[in-house]
Amino acid sequence: MGGGGLYGTGRDYLAFLQMLMHDGEFNGARLLRPETVAQMSKNKIGDVNISRVVLKTTAPASTPDVDMGQLRRGRSCSHRCRSWS
């Protein structure tokens, strides 16, 4: 489940993300302190080595497996994956 347990409409979720992008402020109203937003965006799990992870597809006819070790920002991950830029 994405969104850290948030439920709502797509519009609500986008408003929440916009608020995070503006350090806790939305439409001129302060909803979270900037320190709270900074804490929310800190890495809490440390470095994760995903170079040996392969995500297996459940639909081989339409999508390939994804080798996480080949993912690089701005480069394609395999012969049929889109670029992750």
pLDDT digit string, tens, across residues 2-15:
566 767 888 988 99
User: What pLDDT is attached to residue 82?
Assistant: 44
- Spatial separation of the C-alpha atoms in residues 46 and 80, rounded to whole Å: 30
Mean pLDDT of 47-57: 79
Reported pTM: 0.51
Mean pLDDT of 19-42: 95
Longest dimension (CA), the chain: 49
pLDDT tens track for 31-46: 999 999 999 988 888 8
User: What pLDDT is attached to residue 33?
Assistant: 97
Altogether, the residues listed in the chain come to a count of: 85
